[in-house]
Chain A
């Protein structure tokens, strides 16, 4: 079993749809992250949750809505997306946000999103 699991692995949606991405970590970590990875662009940090509290919202459009019900689960709710939102969405976790200086982020396999 991988440490960080993301579902679905692939998602195709229309601009008027509402869908959600799910992330679950089995590492006992208490910080979780959403990153966006587009072709030839750096990984973009979207949201950070530490102890279920959102501590970072990196100027992400409101059509992306995160939810962290507990320290093991993280969701990204999607609605009225645009074609330019098509990308790989990566979830990551770390031991605690105070350890972020070690850079030990553990990534899931990602959810490949295509918006038509």
Chain B
């Protein structure tokens, strides 16, 4: 079983709609959860992190965490073409960050 699983996509969403990205993890002891965005040919950059069950909002981005079900999601409201990228879910485990393989998101005009 992969430690952090994501649907590889591509996920295609029309401009202005809500994009929903999901991630599941295997280590129940994980405490911290992160979303990185990686544009094609660029390096990953941290966009959200969440520690507690529930929602965390930052502008158009909302991270949702459900520890009982071991999933974390990222919602992007009012999707823009500039949101087209690969989104990496990451989880802390044994003092190191473990990444999923990423979901490629494409926002179509």
Query: Which residues from chain A sit less than 8 Å from chain B, CB to CB?
Result: 40-43, 45, 48, 56, 90, 97, 100-105, 107-110
The one of B95, B101, B102 that contacts A100, using a Cβ cutoff of 8 Å: B95
Assess the B43–A90 pair: CB atoms within 8 A: yes
Judge whether B97 is part of the interface by a CB distance below 8 angstroms. yes
- Nearest residue, chain A, Cβ from B2: A42
Contacting chain A: which of B13-21, B44-52, B53-61? B44-52
Least CB distance, B35 to chain A, in whole angstroms: 9
The one of B42, B43, B97, B101 that contacts A103, using a Cβ cutoff of 8 Å: B97
Assess the B99–A42 pair: CB atoms within 8 A: yes
Q: Whole-angstrom distance between the alpha carbons of A39 and B24 in the complex?
A: 20
Q: Whole-angstrom distance between the alpha carbons of A103 and B31 in the complex?
A: 11
Q: Whole-angstrom distance between the alpha carbons of A105 and B45 in the complex?
A: 8
Interface string of B23-36 (1 = CB under 8 A from A): 00000000110100
Query: Which residues from chain B sit less than 8 Å from chain A, CB to CB?
Result: 2, 4, 8, 31-32, 34, 42-46, 49, 88, 90, 92, 95-102
- Nearest residue, chain A, Cβ from B101: A42
Q: Whole-angstrom distance between the alpha carbons of A104 and B96 in the complex?
A: 12
Q: Whole-angstrom distance between the alpha carbons of A103 and B88 in the complex?
A: 12
Q: Whole-angstrom distance between the alpha carbons of A41 and B98 in the complex?
A: 12
Least CB distance, B80 to chain A, in whole angstroms: 23
Which residues on B sit within 8 Å (CB–CB) of A40? Answer: 8, 101
